[in-house]
């Protein structure tokens, strides 16, 4: 009788992680370059603060994800009768079953192994055929499985997540539909948004404007894809796995899954189009935030206060004009109150006191294309170009 001495199958981390790493590395380099360019082009601190927040999204988060991803694309796992072996090209680690103090399944597809020496190992469906590991643990440590029902219930969950992770490799399986979803639709939305919004709003910084649009489009598309993938998993595919296992069917119906997934991408496309249309309708991309560095008692504003800025209000004769008394953000992040519009007369009645009285020492007519502002610094008055206006403060 021939004895099979072959080593157990090597369980790899998902293949698509390598594609994620490559794509993210390229996008990370591009993002750093774009954010650096926009940062250098902006003189006013509110724009720079906004770029800081967006920059953390497009630069720091992918970098952290790549750092988290690196071990997963270099390791393999094998389930032996006496241990689980984790290896890479330089090192290997053995998880001895006899040294496991506790096995827990805290959430989703995660298996947590707490060792007697205090070390903790986390395993999840990011590993192909994660249920092999769970079955190996059940054979070696049956006393920690809390009965067959618990073991079988979590095994089904692992199979469901294994299939869900496998479907992620079909990310660009439907090339035309995916191209429309990720490239065409955001491009069309940005073109329409620019045409619609510039008919009523002055865009003084087009690079920053399109940067915001890209971020909104990216966030909407990613969120929609994630939500629909979860909906399909929970309400369609997971139920199918349960039914198949009841009938002892272990083979996936790939053609059926592909058909369902394709239809879900149509729903994703409709969802993205609706959300982006709502964004344009509500001008959500024309709002930003800023944080005050110093208190302005004149306007009842305190240091550290976060303010919403409506950048539609940066003009005079337009659909969203500024008016006397409005609090405005302008220049390099300064806050002021509108004192007079182009063509209006302003008078300084006393030192450090502004008003509109004709009986004054100084009478000034605000030039066309300019506005007069009261800065709150000792009642100081400044006359600036309208193009230096950033937006109207919506909350105090």
Q: Hey, what are 146's tokens?
A: 């809390």
What angle, 0 to 180 degrees and rounded to 10, lies between the N-to-C axes of helices 254-281 and 206-232? 140
Give 10-residue mean pLDDT values along the chain (396 residues): 66 83 77 74 59 67 74 87 91 93 91 94 92 93 82 92 90 88 93 93 87 88 93 94 85 91 94 94 90 85 89 92 93 88 77 46 84 80 91 80
pLDDT of residue 323: 93
Residue that has been written with the tokens 């209006």 in this structure? 344
Distant-in-sequence, close-in-space partners of 156: CB < 8 Å, separation ≥ 6: 241, 242, 245
Exposure letters 314-339 (e unless 16+ CB within 10 A, then b): bbbeeebebeeeebbbbbebbbbbbb
Distant-in-sequence, close-in-space partners of 330: CB < 8 Å, separation ≥ 6: 336, 373, 384, 388, 389, 390
Nearest-angstrom CA–CA distance, 340 and 386:
12
Backbone angles phi, psi at 89, to 5 degrees: -70, -15
β-partners of residue 329 are 335, 391
pLDDT of residue 52: 66
pLDDT of residue 396: 52
pLDDT of residue 1: 40
Q: Hey, what are 69's tokens?
A: 């991803």
Q: Closest Cα to residue 85, out of 10, 6, 140?
A: 10
pTM across the whole model: 0.76
């Amino acid at each position: 009788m021939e004895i099979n001495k072959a080593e157990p199958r090597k369980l790899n981390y998902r293949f698509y992680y390598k594609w994620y790493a490559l794509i993210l590395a390229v996008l990370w380099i591009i993002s750093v370059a774009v954010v650096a360019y926009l940062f250098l082009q902006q003189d006013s601190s509110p724009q720079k603060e906004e770029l800081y927040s967006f920059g953390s999204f497009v630069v720091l988060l992918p970098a952290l994800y790549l750092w988290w991803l690196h071990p997963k694309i270099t390791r393999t796992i094998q389930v032996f009768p006496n241990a689980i072996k984790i290896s890479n090209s330089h090192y290997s680690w053995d998880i001895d079953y006899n040294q496991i103090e506790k096995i827990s399944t805290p959430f989703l597809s995660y298996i947590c192994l707490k060792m007697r020496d205090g070390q903790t190992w986390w395993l999840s469906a990011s590993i192909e055929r994660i249920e092999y590991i769970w079955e190996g643990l059940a054979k070696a440590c049956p006393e920690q499985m809390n009965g067959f029902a618990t073991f079988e219930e979590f095994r089904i969950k692992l199979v469901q997540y294994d299939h869900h992770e496998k479907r992620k490799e079909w990310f660009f399986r439907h090339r035309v539909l995916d191209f429309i979803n990720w490239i065409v639709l955001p491009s069309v939305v940005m073109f329409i948004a620019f045409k619609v919004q510039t008919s009523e709003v002055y865009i003084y910084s087009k690079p920053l404007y399109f940067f915001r649009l890209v971020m909104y489009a990216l966030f909407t598309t990613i969120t929609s894809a994630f939500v629909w993938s979860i909906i399909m998993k929970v309400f369609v595919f997971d139920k199918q796995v349960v039914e198949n296992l009841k009938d002892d069917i272990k083979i996936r119906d790939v053609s059926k899954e592909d058909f369902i997934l394709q239809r879900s991408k149509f729903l994703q496309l409709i969802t993205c189009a609706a959300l982006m249309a709502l964004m344009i309708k509500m001008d959500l991309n024309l709002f930003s935030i800023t944080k005050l560095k110093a208190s302005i008692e004149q306007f009842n504003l305190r240091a550290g206060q976060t303010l919403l800025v409506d950048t539609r209000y940066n003009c005079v004769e337009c659909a969203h004009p500024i008016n006397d008394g409005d609090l405005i953000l302008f220049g390099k992040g300064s806050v002021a109150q509108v004192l007079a519009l182009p063509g209006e007369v302003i008078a300084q009645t006393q030192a450090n006191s502004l008003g509109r009285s004709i009986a004054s020492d100084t009478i000034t007519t605000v030039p066309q294309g300019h506005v007069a502002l009261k800065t709150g610094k000792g009642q100081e008055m400044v006359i600036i170009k309208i193009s230096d206006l950033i937006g109207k403060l919506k909350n105090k």
